[in-house]
Structures are given as structure tokens and as C-alpha cells.
Structure 1
Amino acid sequence: MTNTQTIHTNINSISSEQWDKLLDFGSANFFQTKKAFQFFKSVGLEPFIFAIEQEKQITLLITGIIQKEKGIKAAFTSRAIIYGGPILSKKANEQDILELLKIMISHLKNKGIYIEIRNLNNYSNYKNIFEKAGFEYLPHLNFHLDCKDEQTMRKRMSSSKLRQIKKSIKTGAEIIEAQSIEEIKAYYAILHDLYTTKVKTPLPDLDFFIKMWKDDIAKFLLVHYKEEIIGGIVCPIFQNKTIYEWFVCGKDGQYKDVYPSILATWAAMEYAHTNKIEYFDFMGAGKPNEDYGVREFKSKFGGDLVEHGRFIYISQPLLYKVGKTAVKILKKT
């Protein structure tokens, strides 16, 4: 660090103008915005921020949240999650990145079992820097879909998915934007059932989603059929660049010729094209060496398969090992 640089670990020391200017760089994403930071704080999560200022400009920024389950499980489930990865300006050099990573580790290593950076962009050119700081690279897949041209979008989709979308609409299903708390509750009930019976990982509570809708943090695109909400998708949007699939669900297999999860995914794609949003980010497609049904589902929508991976720093190896074993057991029950 030079004398002209300042390290920030508090959101109040960074101006909105400084932060917004940094969002013009290609590594920026919704989850690294001030709006996302403030939302996470408003719902009772513990967000964190680390940044470098040089000549009154923020050149490097990392922000994320501490996640943990409630009660006695907190000590065994606490982890620091950085959605998207750091924002790197052209002035962010190797020394600065390495130093900020070390500062972040020093602040967070006692707050959680591990620190995980879930990359939404390609950080392969910086892989050696993360490894020098003590992070391990884990391969992880994702799909990015170009939404600029609807005709091209349709051509790249599987014919079966196109037929199912057409059937759903012809049968009477429609895509709507959420207009009431009752609709959010109906959507959440479906999502909660999915996470309880199949996904088997922690899900934020209902208030998290209501607050998200009230504060316009994300678009709630719902599938409506016969006076009922039967599915939907929650999509944060970053500028006019990217729409994200954060949570998606549907009462699949319960209605003849209606495919709510497929229609919900299409809803985000159609919304992106209509509103001139360039890309749809599917927010993950599992590990490349493991079978993953969700990846097979997502692959049918015509996106490009990418491997931007994740970086993980394990601060408490024993608890991390116990936690991994517990998750595997939970998902099998």
C-alpha cells in the first residue's frame, strides 16, 4: 500500500458517487451494489465491505454477507459469502488485490467457518493472486444467456421447452408481476416446499422476500393460472446489463399442459429482452464432475455454459469438514 491509498471497511466512508462510478467496470454485478448492501442489512443480515481508495477513487471493492442458521446451529453454519466476486478497476494491481484479500481474511476468519467467493464473471487472470492469499479454486458451472435478440433466443432453446411454454400459455397460464403481499406469500409457500423437500438447504424467511418486493430489490415474475399463483422467479437486475435468477419454483406436474418452472424461467428471459437487458445469469449450474438435474434443466434454455468457479478460504477446517458431511446426510434424507 502506498501513502496515497486508503483502506475502507465501513460503508459510511465511501460516497455513493465513488461507488456508482466503480459499477461501470465489467466485473461489477448487482450483489456488489450499495442497494444490495443496504437491503441485506435491513433484513438483519451482517454485510461487510472492504475497499481501496486511491486519489479519491475506489479502485477495488469486495462486499458480502455473513450467513448462518439461527439458534444453536449458528456456530456450526456461519460463513462469509461474497456473491459475484470483487469489483476491479483498471487501477487495481496485483499487490492491491492481494493486500485487500489478506485484510478481508483477517477481519472475517473468526466470524465464520469459511469465506466463499461465488464468481459471476471470469477471474481466471487473478487466480494466482487468490491462491497467494490462501484461497482454493473450486470449479463451478453457470449459464449466461444473451437476451438481446428474441428470435435468436428462441432458436437456441430446445424445441421441447418452446412447446411447453406455448402449451402453458394456450392452456391459460400467464406471467404477471407481483402486485400484493398475498401473491408473495403464495409464491413463497411453493418455494419453501421445494427447499424443504428437494433442495434441502437453508432458505430466507418470508419477511426477507416481502421486504425485497416492497423495496423493489428484485422483480417478482409470477405464473398465474386459474386464480392461483403456481410458480415464479425472483430476479434482481443490474443496470441494463444483467438479470439474475435468484429463486425460482413451480408446482410442476400438477396441471395438465402447464409447466410453471419453465414458464417462470421464460418470464425472466422475455422480461430481459423487452426491457433491453443484455444478459440472463442463471446463478449457478453445479460442479462439473457431479450429476446435477438443475444443470440439465437450465441447459435447455440456450445459454452458454461457463466455468467461472468459486474461491474458498477455510478458516476452521474441522468444522468445515463436519459441516460438509452434515449437508450430504441432510440431502439424502
Structure 2
Amino acid sequence: MSFGLRIVHELDEILWRRFVDHHPCGTVFHLPEFYRIFSASRGHEPLLWACLDLEGRIQALFLPVLVSLLRSVRLDFFRRAVDYSGILYENTPAGLSAMQHLMHAYNALYDHRILFTEIRNLNDISSCRSIFKGCGYPYRDYLNYLVDIDLSEEALLRQIGKNTRKRIRREVNRETVAFHEISDPEEIPKAYRLLAATYRRNRIPLADISLFQNAFETLYPAQRMSVFLALIDHRIAAASFELFYKDVAYGWYQGSDARFLNYNVNEMLMWHVLKSCAQKGYKVYDFGGAGYPDEKYGVRDFKAKFGGTLVNYGRFLRVHSPFLFSVSQWGYRVIQKMPRIKSI
């Protein structure tokens, strides 16, 4: 029942942050800071859906972000909604009722207005799959790797695959690859150019640079973000954007210069990131996704090298406009089959 529950689209930030801080599934993406980051970033429009009880306590929190498929077009039917962290709700009958109430109200507003809504779970909520299905959000398997980094440096290295470990030790001895952590926001465009080239090579859309600039300016002073660079002869060979919250380090975005792959820059930078996150006191490294199990995914093979635990928290998807969704899927497949674009 939804008696006594009310849906709001604004929250007191202190109440909001306290709810996320104390919730066992709260992540960096649930924080009001990230809502502000998305609000200030081109091509993103965050939504706040919260369900409160009679005492004004948050029972459920849903934070989808409307993302434009075409940056120059803001029509709803060219947009999709992505929840990057999963819905937070109190694990009580009242919390579950609030979550269902929230989802049904959201569906009523956005059905036939946007393409789809995808909920990307960062925690195990398998016990609630039937509830999400009842709200119109069927489940699909989606993998991820979680790496235990609450270890000594030697133990951290030992859990990496043998061949990768051998390459890392060889490059460490050669001292060819140097590392740098960005502290000046003026350096963000350098790292972004590497991301843009990587995503362009793989024909994958990339968020506007404003997302990364706003994130760095907001989160870096609070020690909730780092950007690491791998350098060869003072040239940027790879970049990795990391986020931090509670005891978890989140791998956010990574990119590399194809001209330096013979130096194993991706493995070297990943090793440096894991070491650095462990030294900062974080206990788990979340790789941020490893693809659908029924599809080939080279990134999953790369992430598997670093000794993490393979988890399957999955995703929920509701298609709001079936015809337009089918057209968009067809268009994306056409783009994926186009000849690869040469770049760094």
C-alpha cells in the first residue's frame, strides 16, 4: 500500500546525504554532489524521485539521468534515462512499498516520452527481481569485477594473472612508464582527449568534457576523485578516472593511446591505480562493469587479469517507446559495423 507516502522532487541535502551515507548500498553516484555534477554537464539532465513517509523520512530514492542520444537535439524521444547506481530503498515493507509506488508514478510520466530507462545495479538486489519485474523492469544479467585491495602490495600483485604479473614486473624494471596524478583542473582536457580517441576507435559515444571537468572541480577537493596518467617520454599514454566513496574505489573511465600499447600501458596504469587506491585506504576496487555474459567483450578479458571476483548484479530495463527503441537499436548496430576510425 502507498497510504501515507508522498513523492517529492526536491530534498534537503543534509537529509539526502545522511540517507546515502547510512544506507549499505549507498554509492558515490547517489550523492547530491553527483546530482549537481550532472545538472551542470552538457547532454545530461538528472531527475530526483524520492518517496517520503508521514514523518518525512526517505523510504526510497531514484536518481535517473536523462541522456541525449544526439547532443544537438533535446526532444524527449531522442533521450534515454540511466540510473548509474540502482534505486535505494529501506529494506522494510514500507521501503519496498515506497519503491513500487515511486516506479509506477515514474512510468506513468515517462512512458511514450523517452526511449527507455536502464537501472544499473552496483549491489546485489537479486531478492527483489520479481518486484522490479512487477513494476515493468525485467532483469538482464550484467557482469562486473570487484577486486579485494585491502592487501599488501606483494599480495595485491600475487592475485594478478601470471602473464600480466610478469609483464608488469618487466616494465617496472625497465622504468619506461612514469605516472602522474592530476591536481590542476587545467589538465583535464589532456586526459579527456585520450578518452575521446579511445571511444572513437571503438565507436562508443562519450560524455561531453563538461561532465569530467565538473566532476573534478566538485569531487577532487573532497578527495572523492583522482585522475591518473601513464607517461612515456613525458607523453600521455593512458588515463584513468577514479571515484571514491566509503571503502570503495570506482573505476569510472579509462583510455589509452594505441601507439604505446607495446609498452603495456594499460596493465601498468591499472597496477598503479590498484596500488594507489590501496594506499589511500580503500578496500574494494569496483571495475564498473564487465559486459553481458552472452556477448564477447574484450574489456572483460582485460579486467579478469587482475584477480577480482566476478559478480552478476545485472540491470533492469523498461522500454517506454518500443518502436523508437527498435529504430535506435538498429541505428546503433549500423554504426558499430562501420569501418573503424583511425586515431591515436
Compute the TM-score of the two structures, normalised by the length of structure 1: 0.91
- After TM superposition, the structure 1 stretch with the greater mean CA deviation from structure 2, 272-281 or 70-79, is 70-79
**Partner of residue 295, structure 1:** 300
- Give the one of 181, 203, 224 matched to 2:231: 224
**Partner of residue 22, structure 2:** 24
Q: What is the CA deviation profile of residues 114-150 of structure 1, one whole-angstrom value per residue up to 9, with x for unaligned ones? A: 0100111111111011111111111111111111113
Q: 1:204 to 1:89 in 2, by over 3 A?
A: same
Please report how far the alpha carbon of residue 3 of structure 1 lies from its aligned counterpart in structure 2 after TM superposition: 5.2
- Is 1:128 the counterpart of 2:133? The answer is no
Partners of 2:218 and 2:16 in 1: CA distance: 23
Q: 1:182 to 1:161 in 2, by over 3 A?
A: farther
Preserved contact between residue 18 and residue 57 of structure 1 (Cα < 8 Å): no
Please report how far the alpha carbon of residue 72 of structure 1 lies from its aligned counterpart in structure 2 after TM superposition: 4.5
Which SS does the other structure have where 2:291 is aligned?
coil
**Partner of residue 242, structure 1:** 248
**Partner of residue 87, structure 1:** 88
Partners of 2:324 and 2:3 in 1: CA distance: 39
- Give the one of 177, 194, 207 matched to 1:190: 194
Task: Report the AA paired with residue 177 of structure 2.
Answer: A
Q: Percent identity?
A: 23
- After TM superposition, the structure 1 stretch with the greater mean CA deviation from structure 2, 157-166 or 86-95, is 86-95
Q: 1:315 to 1:73 in 2, by over 3 A?
A: same
Q: 1:106 to 1:2 in 2, by over 3 A?
A: closer
**Partner of residue 6, structure 1:** 6
Q: 1:107 to 1:269 in 2, by over 3 A?
A: farther
How many correspondences in the alignment? 328
Preserved contact between residue 48 and residue 65 of structure 1 (Cα < 8 Å): yes
Q: How does 1:208-287 map to 2 (within 5 A)?
A: 208-216=211-219, 218-239=225-246, 241-252=247-258, 254=260, 256=262, 258-287=263-292
**Partner of residue 51, structure 2:** 52
Task: Report the AA paired with residue 6 of structure 2.
Answer: T
Preserved contact between residue 137 and residue 310 of structure 1 (Cα < 8 Å): yes
- Provide structure 2 residue ranges, at least 5 long, that are not aligned to the other structure: 339-344
- Provide structure 1 residue ranges, at least 5 long, that are not aligned to the other structure: none
Preserved contact between residue 5 and residue 98 of structure 2 (Cα < 8 Å): no
Q: 1:308 to 1:19 in 2, by over 3 A?
A: same
Partners of 2:15 and 2:100 in 1: CA distance: 25
Q: What is the CA deviation profile of residues 43-77 of structure 1, one whole-angstrom value per residue up to 9, with x for unaligned ones? A: 24211111122323212111121001222585554
Preserved contact between residue 290 and residue 300 of structure 2 (Cα < 8 Å): yes
- Is 1:67 the counterpart of 2:67? The answer is yes
Task: Report the AA paired with residue 233 of structure 2.
Answer: K
**Partner of residue 209, structure 2:** 206
Compute the TM-score of the two structures, normalised by the length of structure 2: 0.88
Partners of 2:149 and 2:78 in 1: CA distance: 37
Task: Report the AA paired with residue 246 of structure 1.
Answer: W
Partners of 1:130 and 1:28 in 2: CA distance: 19
